[in-house]
């Protein structure tokens, strides 16, 4: 029987596949890389050959401009490629537009590297697709039982109710540029809000890219209008990267009410630390229930945990007789550091 | 329960008073009876349950979850109730979500043994926010920054009435306050205010401004010292004795010595002070008696409390609020003389013939009690006793504050309108160590007193001269050769073991920004300490 470690193993650059001679989401420039999704801690510039979905490559191109990699190999979900007897297939991970799990098959073994994933419906990307495997390599960003996320639509309801309650204030929603922003916008639209949404300049390129891939975000306007009066933004919803929430940038708005769409908002102390007045518990990562349900559903021979809060997830695996180990990969940020 | 849980959640994260008022008003307007009444009771601290203890809750979760997973979770979250609320395993379709009124009603009648089972059933049925609200309700203390006063304001906003009207009926109402809501929604008449010993809304004063002296004539006003205690209303009516703060909180429980002394029929307005043989003590001493749940005899003996009377509202059974101040004052003098209690004396009037003469008195208070008065009060001889803060009939003319030149050391970002600004400032003064080296030691924190324009300048200074960051706090460059001097005004100083410097200021605010003054020339801690000796 082949050992899975001979097909995939941790290395300082990231997960490495010796027979195929490629890395998955390497944190340093390498000759050959498979990229699961476009977040900057997973998709870095400067690699030689890159294999990723069409969408992920478009995101990398938008972020790092043309020469982001020596060569790019665009694949569709489900389309298999082969190298030195190693077959790689990308299947939907449900995390953000273009996000994929890397399914690696070699010598009769199947290893699934989930990348970052979630199991909930997301109007901006296809649903996570479970794949039977011998080894499931999972993230554990929210790997603690306290992270049980409510329905995202419930959180958006809270936001829209607050906008109605405080028409004199500007609702400033912090959301990461890639994925969260567009999902929040879609959810706001699904919540019945048709008025223009105002966006920070740093969000524009990803919004345009999503729209190019057919995701309708409704009327958007820049929140950076020259000479705008404070009153212009009273009652408006403005979306901005989280770092801008406490920046001088916010001074242009009428009595801003800071909201933040993130899984971390589930814990009060985290929301308070960031001076958030309206925490919106919306995450693009799997919560505790999704992480454990997925492992139960797949029942793989082994679970490998890449990054996040692995202690609790390891404990859960032990309690459920699920062989598991932590890879403790470094270089991957939790949601905080993304972007 | 869901609407109440959502309300608590919003309140917990909304720092601004106006924001809280909007949230409360909307909740009271939308929630049905008796749900909103129980919510009001819960928020104002009227409800308390003793059957459910934190150990209960811990036991319940330990039966449902691996101890190590719970430990990891608790460690991460910190707060026990919040952890349990988050990790409680969902039981879909377990039960119907309980209403708040149902919870209150059941808990009031349930035995200790029943509570455990009931609690677990409710936790199964609620979502995380609902579970948090329930657990906080049971264990006491929402800590969402809502005082009884604020809740009354929200009720006033909801019903379009003055808050004084709410205060007037408040003490006759009981949870779940259905009559009160019916009145506020104009479905019924105002509830009866004929409750003996009820609170009557107090009359307050504006600060006098320089221009006012030209507008008003000295002969129209009476003057008396503004004593430095807490303003109270003492009622003794048909056997009901009560002591209220000026915001209508019933503080009778903390002052049994005062209650015992209310051997009269009527309602007076005065200052609560530590009094020894007719002399009053400083506010610092009074503080030993404030906010205490229980009072022991030693404390009563050490800090004897009395009332220095300012005014009279009810003389026997006669409401005298519509009489002019001159007439009320004569009534009050007779009333206090008749009560003849060592715990009740009269705030003496200070005769004067011109504003100049009064200004001189204020600047040079005579020996004795006036030395520690906060300033003077001016009351028009013809003013009736009216609720609220009308402009003209009464003025306060406070003593000039103490000033100290301190150096800006740390700044923290503000909330709401000030969320993009560093607007909370910690300042320090020079302290000499054993070797004669001077270093800054923090002595206080101020977050107002400056204009919007000055805020921008201060914010820029903080950003330009940050030397270290700790979360939302920045340490600012401050040493002998460089630093920003702030002239800080404050009302008083007291010793404090909680502060490294050993002193704590009352009501500090930024009086002036001394862009011109070198940091080395800011004041020393010894300057503040000398003030301390003078005060005590």
Q: Reply yes or no on whether the pLDDT at B536 is more than 60.
A: no
Are A332 and A42 a contacting pair, CB within 8 Å? yes
Structural domain range at position A215: 152-280
**Cross-chain residue pair B13–A145, CB shorter than 8 Å:** no
Chain B CB contacts of A146 below 8 Å: 73, 76-77, 83, 86-87
Residue with tokens 């050391």: B409
Q: Reply yes or no on whether the pLDDT at B418 is more than 80.
A: no
Residues A192 and A295 in one domain: no
Residues A27 and A119 in one domain: yes
Q: Reply yes or no on whether the pLDDT at B311 is more than 90.
A: yes
Chain B CB contacts of A249 below 8 Å: 420
Residues A293 and A252 in one domain: no
**B23 interface with A at CB cutoff 8 Å:** yes
pLDDT digits (tens, 9 = 90+) for B479-491: 999 999 999 999 8
- The pairing of strands A80-83 and B230-237 is unpaired
Are A182 and A149 a contacting pair, CB within 8 Å? no
Q: Concatenated DSSP letters for B516-527?
A: TS-GGGS-BHHH
The minimum CA-CA distance between B451 and chain A, rounded to whole Å, is 16
Q: Which residue of A has its CA nearest to B83?
A: A146
Strand arrangement, sheet containing B394-398: B206-207, B394-398, B375-380, B221-226
Can you tell me the mean pLDDT for B291-319?
92
Q: Reply yes or no on whether the pLDDT at B535 is more than 70.
A: no
Report how far apart, in Å, the C-alpha atoms of B345 and of each of B136, B235, B261 are: 44, 15, 11
Q: Reply yes or no on whether the pLDDT at B382 is more than 50.
A: yes
pLDDT digits (tens, 9 = 90+) for B347-371: 999 999 999 999 999 989 998 999 8
Q: Reply yes or no on whether the pLDDT at B232 is more than 50.
A: yes
Residues A120 and A228 in one domain: no
Residues A83 and A180 in one domain: no
Can you tell me the mean pLDDT for A180-186?
98
Q: Nearest by CB to A146, from B13, B14, B83: name it.
A: B83
Q: Reply yes or no on whether the pLDDT at A186 is more than 50.
A: yes
Q: What is the CATH number of the domain that holds A159?
A: 3.40.50.12650
pLDDT of residue B287: 86
Nearest to B6 by CA among A190, A171, A162: A162
Q: Of A240, A263, A280, which residue sits at a domain end?
A: A280
Q: Of A263, A280, A297, which residue sits at a domain end?
A: A280
Instruction: Choose, out of B68, B86, B135, the residue to mutate when testing the contact with A (most A CBs < 10 Å).
Output: B86
Q: pLDDT class for B94, splitting at 50, 70, 90?
A: low
Can you tell me the mean pLDDT for B304-333?
96
Can you tell me the mean pLDDT for A74-91?
96
Are A182 and A246 a contacting pair, CB within 8 Å? no
Q: Reply yes or no on whether the pLDDT at B402 is more than 70.
A: yes
Nearest to A167 by CA among B483, B441, B397, B26: B26
Are A249 and B59 a contacting pair, CB within 8 Å? no
Whether ipTM exceeds 0.90: yes
Can you tell me the mean pLDDT for A191-208?
95
Per-domain boundaries in chain B: 2-139, 206-398, 402-535
Are B40 and B169 a contacting pair, CB within 8 Å? no
pLDDT digits (tens, 9 = 90+) for A16-52: 999 999 999 999 999 999 999 999 999 999 999 999 9
SS3 A51: strand
Can you tell me the mean pLDDT for B70-79?
91
The number of beta carbons lying within 10 Å of the beta carbon of residue B482 is 13
d(CA B156, CA B248): 14
Q: Reply yes or no on whether the pLDDT at A295 is more than 90.
A: yes
pLDDT of residue A338: 43
Q: What is the CATH number of the domain that holds A58?
A: 3.60.15.10
Return the CATH number of B206-398, one of 3.30.930.10, 3.10.20.740, 3.30.710.10, 3.30.470.30: 3.30.470.30
Chain A CB contacts of B469 below 8 Å: none
Q: pLDDT class for A226, splitting at 50, 70, 90?
A: low
- The pairing of strands A257-261 and A171-174 is parallel
- The pairing of strands A324-326 and A302-308 is parallel
Q: Reply yes or no on whether the pLDDT at A252 is more than 90.
A: no
Q: pLDDT class for A275, splitting at 50, 70, 90?
A: confident
Chain A CB contacts of B420 below 8 Å: 246-251, 256
Tokens found for residue B258: 């005062």
- For chain B, the first-to-last Cα distance in angstroms comes to 51
Q: Reply yes or no on whether the pLDDT at A335 is more than 60.
A: no
Residues A45 and A132 in one domain: yes
**Cross-chain residue pair A165–B413, CB shorter than 8 Å:** no
The minimum CA-CA distance between A272 and chain B, rounded to whole Å, is 7
d(CA B75, CA B88): 16
d(CA A308, CA A334): 7
Instruction: Choose, out of A141, A145, A238, the residue to mutate when testing the contact with B (most B CBs < 10 Å).
Output: A145
Residues A202 and A171 in one domain: yes
Residues A130 and A159 in one domain: no
Q: Of A258, A280, A302, which residue sits at a domain end?
A: A280
Residues A207 and A264 in one domain: yes
Q: Reply yes or no on whether the pLDDT at A230 is more than 70.
A: no
Show the CA angle centred on residue B332, arms to residues B328 and B336, nearest 5°: 175
Residues 6 or more apart whose Cβ sits within 8 Å of residue B187 = none
pLDDT of residue B52: 65
Beta strands in B144-265 (DSSP E): 206-207, 221-226, 230-237, 240-245
Nearest to A99 by CA among A184, A26, A51, A36: A36
Residues A132 and A9 in one domain: yes
Q: pLDDT class for A337, splitting at 50, 70, 90?
A: very low
Chain A CB contacts of B416 below 8 Å: 255-257, 277
Give me the percent of chain B exceeding a pLDDT of 90. 63
Report how far apart, in Å, the C-alpha atoms of B286 and of each of A167, A284, B485 are: 44, 55, 33
Please give the distance of CA A214 from its chain centroid, rounded to a whole number. Answer: 19
Residues A258 and A127 in one domain: no
Are B92 and B125 a contacting pair, CB within 8 Å? no
**Cross-chain residue pair B26–A246, CB shorter than 8 Å:** no
Which homologous superfamily does the CATH classification assign to the domain defined by B402-535?
A: Nucleic acid-binding proteins (2.40.50.140)
d(CA B227, CA A133): 80
Give me the percent of chain B exceeding a pLDDT of 70. 97
pLDDT of residue A336: 43
Q: Which residue of B has its CA nearest to A288?
A: B87
Residue A213 CB-density burial (10 A; 0-12 exposed, 13-18 middle, 19+ buried): middle
Chain A CB contacts of B413 below 8 Å: 246, 275
Domain count, chain A: 2
pLDDT of residue A339: 34
**B449 interface with A at CB cutoff 8 Å:** no
Fold of B2-139: DNA ligase i, domain 1 (1.10.3260)
Please state, rounded to an integer, the average pLDDT across all residues of chain B: 90
Q: Reply yes or no on whether the pLDDT at B132 is more than 50.
A: yes
Q: How many residues make up chain B in this entry? A: 536
Residues A26 and A135 in one domain: yes
Count residue pairs from A and B with Cβ separation < 8 A. Answer: 94
Can you tell me the mean pLDDT for A311-319?
96
Instruction: Choose, out of B9, B23, B67, B76, the residue to mutate when testing the contact with A (most A CBs < 10 Å).
Output: B76
pLDDT of residue A231: 66
Tokens found for residue B7: 């309300």
Helices of type H across B385-519 = 452-464
- The pairing of strands A32-34 and B422-432 is unpaired
Q: pLDDT class for B147, splitting at 50, 70, 90?
A: confident
């Amino acid at each position: 029987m082949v050992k899975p470690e001979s097909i995939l193993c941790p290395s300082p650059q990231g997960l490495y596949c010796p027979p195929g001679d490629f890395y998955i989401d390497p944190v340093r420039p390498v000759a050959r890389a498979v990229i699961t999704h476009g977040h900057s801690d997973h998709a870095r510039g400067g690699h030689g050959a890159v294999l990723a979905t069409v969408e992920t490559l478009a995101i990398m191109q938008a972020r790092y401009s043309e020469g982001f990699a020596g060569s790019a190999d665009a694949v569709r979900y489900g389309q298999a490629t082969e190298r030195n007897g190693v077959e790689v297939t990308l299947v939907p991970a449900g995390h953000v537009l273009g996000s994929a799990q890397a399914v690696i098959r070699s010598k009769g073994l199947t290893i699934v590297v989930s990348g970052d994933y979630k199991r909930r419906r997301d109007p901006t990307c296809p649903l996570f697709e479970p794949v039977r495997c011998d080894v499931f390599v999972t993230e554990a960003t929210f790997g603690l039982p306290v992270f049980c996320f409510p329905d995202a639509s419930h959180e958006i309801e809270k936001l829209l109710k607050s906008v109605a309650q405080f028409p004199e204030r500007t609702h400033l929603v912090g959301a990461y540029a890639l994925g969260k922003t567009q999902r929040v916008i879609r959810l706001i639209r699904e919540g019945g809000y048709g008025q223009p949404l105002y966006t920070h300049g740093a969000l524009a390129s990803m919004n345009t890219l999503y729209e190019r891939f057919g995701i309708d975000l409704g009327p958007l306007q820049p929140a950076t209008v020259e000479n705008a009066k404070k009153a212009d933004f009273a009652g408006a919803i403005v979306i901005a990267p989280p770092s801008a929430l406490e920046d001088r940038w916010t001074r242009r708005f009428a009595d801003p009410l800071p909201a933040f769409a993130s899984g971390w908002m589930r814990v009060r102390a985290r929301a308070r630390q960031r001076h958030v007045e309206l925490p919106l518990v919306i995450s693009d990562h799997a919560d505790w229930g999704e992480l454990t349900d997925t492992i139960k559903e797949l029942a793989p021979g082994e679970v490998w945990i890449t990054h996040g809060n692995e202690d609790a997830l390891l404990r859960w695996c032990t309690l459920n007789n699920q062989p598991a180990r932590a890879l403790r990969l470094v270089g991957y940020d939790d949601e905080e550091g993304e972007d | 329960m869901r609407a109440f849980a959502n309300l608590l959640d919003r309140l917990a994260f909304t720092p601004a008073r106006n924001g809280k008022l909007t949230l409360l008003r909307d909740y009271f307007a939308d929630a049905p009876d008796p749900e909103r009444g129980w919510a009001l009771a819960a928020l104002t601290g009227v409800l308390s349950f003793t059957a459910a203890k934190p150990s209960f809750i811990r036991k319940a979760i330990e039966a449902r979850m691996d101890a190590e997973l719970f430990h990891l979770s608790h460690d991460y979250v910190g707060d026990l109730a919040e952890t349990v609320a988050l990790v409680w395993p969902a039981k879909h379709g377990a039960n119907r979500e309980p209403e708040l009124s149902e919870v209150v009603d059941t808990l009031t009648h349930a035995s200790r043994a029943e509570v455990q089972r009931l609690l677990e059933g409710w936790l199964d049925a609620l979502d995380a926010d609902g579970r948090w609200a329930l657990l906080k309700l049971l264990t006491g203390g929402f800590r969402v920054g809502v005082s009884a006063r604020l809740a009354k304001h929200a009720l006033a906003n909801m019903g379009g009435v003055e808050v004084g009207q709410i205060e007037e009926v408040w003490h006759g109402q009981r949870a779940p306050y259905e009559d009160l809501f019916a009145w506020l929604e104009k479905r019924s008449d105002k509830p009866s205010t004929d409750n003996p010993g009820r609170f009557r809304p107090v009359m307050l004063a504006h600060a006098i401004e320089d221009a006012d002296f030209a507008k008003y004539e000295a002969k129209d006003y009476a003057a008396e010292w503004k004593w430095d205690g807490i303003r109270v209303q003492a009622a003794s009516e048909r056997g009901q004795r009560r002591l209220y703060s000026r915001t209508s909180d019933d503080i009778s429980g903390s002052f049994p010595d005062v209650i015992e002394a209310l051997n009269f029929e009527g309602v007076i307005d005065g200052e609560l002070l530590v009094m020894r043989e007719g002399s009053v003590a400083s506010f610092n001493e009074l503080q030993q008696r404030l906010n205490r749940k229980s009072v022991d005899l030693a404390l009563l003996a050490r800090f004897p409390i009395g009332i220095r009377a300012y005014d009279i509202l009810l003389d026997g059974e006669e409401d005298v609020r519509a009489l002019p101040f001159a007439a009320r004052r004569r009534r009050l003098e007779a009333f206090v003389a008749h009560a003849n209690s060592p715990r009740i004396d009269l705030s003496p009037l200070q005769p004067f013939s011109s504003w100049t003469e009064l200004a001189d008195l204020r600047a040079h208070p005579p020996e004795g009690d006036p030395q520690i008065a906060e300033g003077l009060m001016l009351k028009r001889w013809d003013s009736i006793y009216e609720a609220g803060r009308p402009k003209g009939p009464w003025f306060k003319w406070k003593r000039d504050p103490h000033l100290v030149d301190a150096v800006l050391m740390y700044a923290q970002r503000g909330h709401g309108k000030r969320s993009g600004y560093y607007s909370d400032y910690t300042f320090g003064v020079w302290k000499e160590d054993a070797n004669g080296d001077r270093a800054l030691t923090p002595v206080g924190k101020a977050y107002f007193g400056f204009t919007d324009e000055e805020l921008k300048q201060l914010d820029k200074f903080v950003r330009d001269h940050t030397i270290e960051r700790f979360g939302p706090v920045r340490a600012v460059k401050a040493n002998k050769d460089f630093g920003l001097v702030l002239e800080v005004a404050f009302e008083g100083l007291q010793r404090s073991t909680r502060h490294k410097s050993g002193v704590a200021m009352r009501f500090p605010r930024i009086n002036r920004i001394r862009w011109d003054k070198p940091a080395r020339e800011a004041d020393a801690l010894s300057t503040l300490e000398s003030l301390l000796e003078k005060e005590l």
